[in-house]
Amino acid sequence: MPSARHFTLRFSCPDRVGIVARVATFLAEAGGSILRSSQHSDSATDRFYMRVEVDAASLGISLETLAARFTPIAEELEMDWRVADSAVKKRIVVLVSRQMHCLYDLLERWRSGELDVDIPCIISNHDDARGLVEWHGIEFHHVPVNKDNKAAAWRKIDRLFAAADADTMVLARYMQILPPWLCEAHAGQILNIHHSFLPSFVGASPYQQAWERGVKQVGATCHYVTPELDQGPIIEQDVTRVTHNDAVRDLVRYGKDIEKAVLARGLRYHLEDRVLISGRRTVVL
């Protein structure tokens, strides 16, 4: 049932005639059987985006050899590129606060194998999640954040992330605002789930804001974290219907289900190397 081991090549580059021909011919000459391929020409920026999964067994060469042979093409076409091996698990560090619905959801996906990653550690500004996390055999770090120790806390989180040798940091309802330097140091690597349908209801208490405005649907947004609060490129969004009958606590409750699903989808797209950033937008191939 699982998909075969594959190498994933993804890139973006200035658009021109013949890019697909070059890439596909390169792969065909290496014997590569294409499992899945998608591409996008963005006419607004005149840039081309592509992602292709190649059956590793069909190639008969290592990822390193493939990358070495592809480098001249990538340089000639001025690509921003990357290759990944599906047999090498990505590593994610999860940050949470007191609400645990996203954490439970991620842990179940991880334990069942749906989320096929390593989770070297989970960090929280509260100690509440320790028991659950450690029961799952995952290291837990309690890093309190208050107005006196913020700078030290962010440095500690950055060190833990580095020590974990992780690719991705997931803010799974982590209720602290990361400093600009941390966002910039890991641009394109930090995912957040915001509990509103952005750009509506930026900042604190979005469900309270939504109730006051009387909207008929509430939503959630998974986006990359950038130094500007809630302004990063959007990866995935969804909404659910509410009525005048629903109090703020009901909006919060409905919202939890959307947050879980949207974060899980956005994270999966990211981990499968399907998300390419294009300014304030994302291309999800």
Q: Which residues are catalytic?
A: 230
| Least spacing, CB of residue 144 vs a copy of itself, in Å | 21
Contact status: 101 vs a copy of itself (CB under 8 A): yes
91-96 vs 118-124, strand pairing mode: parallel
Contact status: 215 vs a copy of itself (CB under 8 A): yes
Contact status: 113 vs a copy of itself (CB under 8 A): no
Nearer to a copy of itself, 147 or 213 (CB): 213
| Least spacing, CB of residue 238 vs a copy of itself, in Å | 7
Query: Residue 56: how many CA atoms within 13 Å on its side-chain side?
Result: 16
| Least spacing, CB of residue 280 vs a copy of itself, in Å | 6
Spatial distance between the Cα atoms of 209 and 213, rounded to a whole number of angstroms: 6
Task: Tell me which stretch binds a copy of itself (CB under 8 A): 88-96, 146-154, 178-186, 245-253.
Answer: 245-253
Cβ(270)–Cβ(82) below 8 Å: no
| Least spacing, CB of residue 157 vs a copy of itself, in Å | 25
Task: Tell me which stretch binds a copy of itself (CB under 8 A): 72-80, 88-96, 178-186, 274-282.
Answer: 274-282
Interface with a copy of itself (CB under 8 A), residue from 100, 129, 169, 263: 100
- E-state strands within the chain: 6-14, 34-42, 47-55, 80-85, 91-96, 118-124, 139-142, 168-171, 190-194, 217-224, 234-241, 275-278, 281-284
Q: End-to-end CA distance of the chain, in Å?
A: 22
Interface with a copy of itself (CB under 8 A), residue from 104, 149, 162, 165: 104
Nearer to a copy of itself, 118 or 238 (CB): 238
Spatial distance between the Cα atoms of 114 and 264, rounded to a whole number of angstroms: 10
Interface with a copy of itself (CB under 8 A), residue from 37, 45, 176, 205: 37
Contact status: 39 vs a copy of itself (CB under 8 A): yes
| Least spacing, CB of residue 159 vs a copy of itself, in Å | 30
Cis peptide before 199 (omega within 30 of 0): yes
Between CA 145 and CA 148, with CA 146 as vertex, the angle to 5 degrees is 120
For a copy of itself (CB under 8 A), the number of binding residues is 79
**What is the pattern of x (binds a copy of itself, CB under 8 A) and - over residues 123-142?**
--------xx--x-------
Closest CA to 38 of 272, 280, 279: 272
Interface with a copy of itself (CB under 8 A), residue from 234, 251, 263, 271: 234
Interface with a copy of itself (CB under 8 A), residue from 77, 143, 175, 261: 261
Task: Tell me which stretch binds a copy of itself (CB under 8 A): 60-68, 105-113, 116-124, 184-192.
Answer: 105-113
Q: Structure tokens of 151? A: 């700078």
User: Angle 248-271/101-111 helices, nearest 10 degrees?
Assistant: 40
Nearer to a copy of itself, 160 or 233 (CB): 233
> What is the Cα Rg of the chain in Å?
21
| C-alpha torsion sign, points 218, 124, 166, 109 | negative
